[in-house]
Amino acid sequence: MSFIKILLTNLKYNFLIHFIIAVIIALFTPVVFSISSLDSKASAQPLEMLLSFAGAILLTPVFLPEQNDEIRDVIRSKKTDYLLICAIRVIYSVIAIMLITGIFVLVMKYCECDVTWKHFISGFASSLFLGTIGFLFAGLSGNISVGYMSAMVYYTANIGLKNKLGICYLFSMCSGGNFSDKYFLILLSFFCIAFVFYLLKTIILQKN
């Protein structure tokens, strides 16, 4: 199976529905939060506190098609590397998060909000990290529901613990925190993703 065929098949049957849900979240965000004429701090609120759910929706179900053991065994028996397929899913999911966040920031700019590239980085980092939490626990447990629950628990913890989470606090920009923490969130997200792939690769090699 060619790379292009793998990509198109996954986009159609695994990614599209989750992308649509993520877009709906973006469209619903202005209903909950005003996005007109906001100052810099207030502009970060819709990006960090609601749009971040797009990341959980897009990254958590990367392993969804193989949640059934029989399907997973069949896919792993093919010549195409199973983890390569999952990596492709991660790549286009991350691109989708960037796209949704970027367009939303541009819309806020059009609505006369005081947004800059920092708001894009902030929104992307929070969305990516929340999605990574779901991806991490879904990958380790082999259960997508566990991934979604973990993301929700972590989101709730951010509301309750706030800046006690330190550099892992999702809502740091809208609470006046250190912007540089967002770079750490991005790096930590990719580290966690790589860690999951490493563990799964180890498990697959042991089974073979």
C-alpha to C-alpha distance for 103 and 108, rounded to whole angstroms: 9
- What total number of domains does the chain contain? 1
C-alpha to C-alpha distance for 41 and 119, rounded to whole angstroms: 9
Domain span at 67: 3-22+44-207
Q: Which residues contact 25 (CB under 8 A, 6 or more apart)?
A: 50, 51, 53, 54, 57
Structure tokens at 123: 């929104």
Query: Is residue 140 a part of any domain in this protein?
Result: yes
Query: Is residue 27 a part of any domain in this protein?
Result: no
Residue 87 has pLDDT above 60, yes or no: yes
Query: Is residue 31 a part of any domain in this protein?
Result: no
Q: What mean pLDDT is reported for the chain?
A: 89
pTM of the predicted model as reported, rounded to 2 decimal places: 0.90
Which residue type sits at 75? Answer: I
Query: Is residue 33 a part of any domain in this protein?
Result: no
- Residue 8 in contact with residue 58, Cβ under 8 Å? no
Q: Which residues contact 115 (CB under 8 A, 6 or more apart)?
A: 40, 43, 105, 108, 109
Query: Is residue 100 a part of any domain in this protein?
Result: yes
- The predicted-structure confidence for 32-53, as pLDDT tens digits, reads as follows 999 999 999 999 999 999 999 9
- Residue 126 in contact with residue 52, Cβ under 8 Å? yes
Query: Is residue 97 a part of any domain in this protein?
Result: yes
Query: Is residue 37 a part of any domain in this protein?
Result: no
